[in-house]
A and B are shown apart, each in its own frame.
Chain A
Amino acid sequence: MNIDPNRPDQPARPPVVSFEDRMATVEFRVGERAHIVVDSDVCRSCTTQACVTACPANLFAQTSDGGILFNYEQCFECGTCYMVCNSEGALTWTYPDGGHGVVFRNG
C-alpha cells in the first residue's frame, strides 16, 4: 500500500486492520508438534472460558458442544491462556521445539 502521510484526504485514523491482516504481520516458523494441547472434555465444564477472549492471537474458539478448539500455529507463546485458565488439566503448555514458533522483529 502506497501512502503519502501528508495528503489531506487521508482519513484522520489509521486504516482499520482485519484480524487476518494483523496476524499476517507476524512471522511464525510453525513446528510440526502442537506445543499447546487442550483437553476439550475439561473445557466443557469451565464456566468462564476466559481464554477465548483473552488470547491476543485469538486462537481459542468455542465449539458447538461447549468445548474449546485450539489452533497452535499463530501463537505468540505469551502464556496468557494458561494464566487465565481455571480448569486444572485443561491446558498443557510447553514451548515450541527449538527454532520454531513466533519470531519477532520489532518486539
Chain B
Amino acid sequence: MPENVNGEVEVWDAVVVGAGPAGAAAALALAQAGRSVLMVERGPFPGSKNVYGGVIYARVLDEVLPQWWLEAPVQRWVTRRSTMIMTGHQAVTVDIRAQNWGEAPYNGMTAYRPDFDAWLAGKAVEAGAELITSTVATGLIRDDRGRVIGVHTDRPDGDLRARVVIACDGVNSFLAKEAGLLPAADSAHHTLGVKEVWSLPPEVIEERYALGPREGLDIEMLGCTRGIPGGGFLYTGHDTIALGVVVSVEGLAKAKVRPEELIADLRTHPAIAPALRGAELKEYAAHLIPEGGYRAMPKLATDGLLIAGDAAGMCLAAGLWLEGVNFAIGSGLAAGAAVSQAVWSNDFSAKGLASYRTSMEKSFVLADHKRMQDAPKFVLSERLHAQYTGLICDMAERIFTVTNPEPKPRMTALLRRTVKDHGVRWRDLAKDAALGGRIFR
C-alpha cells in the first residue's frame, strides 16, 4: 500500500500508466519485490485499446512467471511460419515448420491482446499490484525543481503521487511527449497496422493450413502494399484468421490509398483468398506501431519518470524479426527492477534510475535493437517494396516456366533480363544486398 506522507498524501513507490504488457510487467516486477505499485489503465480493462501483428514470444516471462504457458490465454502455438513475397498475381514462399515450437517450453503463440494483457495485468495484481481502469492519466505532476512526482487523472480529486512514474502509455504516449522525450508527431518513424479478424470453424482452419489442433500459422508478407513501404500478415487464432497490413504512415499519406483497400487486395489475392472462403468478419481494428528502432529511440529516463514499451519505441520491426510484446515486457521488467532499486537507494533522479538503461543494454531489449539499428530504413525502403518483390517473383516464375521446345535459359541470363525488366540498377542491388547482409549477419 502507498505510504502516507505527513499524514495526508499517499505516495506510491511507482504509478504505472498503462496496463499493457510493459505496464503489467513493470507492476509485476515491483510487486514481486514488495514495492507499492498502482497501474492506471484508460480502457475499461487492460488490453481493450490494444492491437498487434499477431504473435507473442513470451520466453522473457520464464523467470518471473515460471510455466506461464500452462495458464496464458493462448489461441494457438505457432508451429508453421512463412515469409511470402508477392505481387498481385504471384507469391514466393519460404515455409518453416518446427514441431518443437508446439511443445513446452514453446516459442511463439497467437493470442488476442485483450485476453493476454488482461491476464498479465492480473498476474501483477495477484502479486500485490493495484489496478484502476477507465482512468486517463492526463498529465504529469512536477515539483518546483521540475522532477516528476505523480500524474493527474480524469477522476475527481484524481491526482496520484509516486516516487517514480513509469509511462507505459503506448505508441502515442502523451506523457513522454509532455516530458519532452518524444516529438509531438513523427510520421517518418511510425507505421499503421490495420487488421481484419475473420471467423471460421477450427477444424476448417486446421484443414486449410494443414495444422494440428492448437497448432498455428504465421505468415509475414512483402509486396502486397501497392509499393507503399510495409507488409502484410496472416495468423491463425483458434477459430479465426487475422489478416492485415502494416504500412508506413508517410507512404500511406503520400499514396492517397485507403487502408482497408490494402487489406482487400490481400483478401482477394490468389495465395490468400481460397483459405478465407465462407469466413465472416468478426472485428476490424487499427493501431500505430513505432518502427524507428534504436536510432529513433527517445531518452528513457528523466527525474522521477521512466518510459517503457511502445512509448519508448521498443518495437523490433526488422523484417525477418517482427516482435513487440516481448520487448514491452522486457523493458517493463527492467523499469520495475530499476525503480525497486531506486527505492532502496532513495534516489529517484535520472541518475538514480540509470540502471534501467544499463540493464537493458545487457539484455535482448536494447542489444537486439542496437544490432538491428539499420533495419528500419532497409525494410521500409522504396526499392525493396516497389522493385525487389516483383523481381523475385518474376525470377522464380521464369526459372520454373518450362519453355520447350526452347532449351532452358541460363540462370545468369534470366537474372540479367529480370533485373532489367524491373528497372533495377545493379549498383543499387549490390549496395542493398551488402546492407541487408550487414544488418542480418
**Contacts from B to A (Cβ < 8 Å):** 42-44, 47-52, 112-114, 133-136, 138, 153-155, 171-172, 174, 185-187, 190, 192, 194-198, 200-201, 204, 237, 240, 242, 249-250, 252-254, 256-260, 267-268, 273-274, 276-288
Give Cα distance in the complex from A57 to B280, angstroms: 19
- Mask of A11-53 contacts with B, CB within 8 angstroms, 1/0: 1111001010111011001000000000000000000101001
Give Cα distance in the complex from A29 to B194, angstroms: 20
Query: By the criterion CB–CB under 8 Å, are A80 and B249 in contact?
Result: yes
Query: By the criterion CB–CB under 8 Å, are A54 and B249 in contact?
Result: yes
Query: By the criterion CB–CB under 8 Å, are B277 and A11 in contact?
Result: yes
Query: By the criterion CB–CB under 8 Å, are B187 and A99 in contact?
Result: no
Query: By the criterion CB–CB under 8 Å, are A5 and B237 in contact?
Result: no
- Mask of A68-107 contacts with B, CB within 8 angstroms, 1/0: 0000000011111011110000000011111101111111
A and B contact pairs by CB, cutoff 8 A, 10 listed: A3-B280, A5-B201, A12-B273, A14-B198, A14-B278, A22-B284, A54-B249, A102-B48, A106-B197, A106-B283
Query: By the criterion CB–CB under 8 Å, are B135 and A104 in contact?
Result: no
Query: By the criterion CB–CB under 8 Å, are A26 and B256 in contact?
Result: no
Closest 9 CB pairs of A and B: A99-B134, A5-B278, A56-B286, A107-B51, A50-B253, A98-B134, A84-B253, A83-B187, A106-B197
- Chain B at the A interface: SS class: mixed
Give Cα distance in the complex from A98 to B268, angstroms: 38
- Chain A at the B interface: SS class: loop
- Minimum CB–CB distance from B19 to chain A (whole Å) comes to 12
Query: By the criterion CB–CB under 8 Å, are A78 and B192 in contact?
Result: yes
The reply to whether the CB of A63 lies closer than 8 angstroms to some CB of chain B is no
Give Cα distance in the complex from A60 to B288, angstroms: 18
Give Cα distance in the complex from A25 to B154, angstroms: 28
Give Cα distance in the complex from A77 to B348, angstroms: 32
A residues within 8 A CB of B242? 106
Give Cα distance in the complex from A26 to B286, angstroms: 11
B residues within 8 A CB of A94? 138, 174
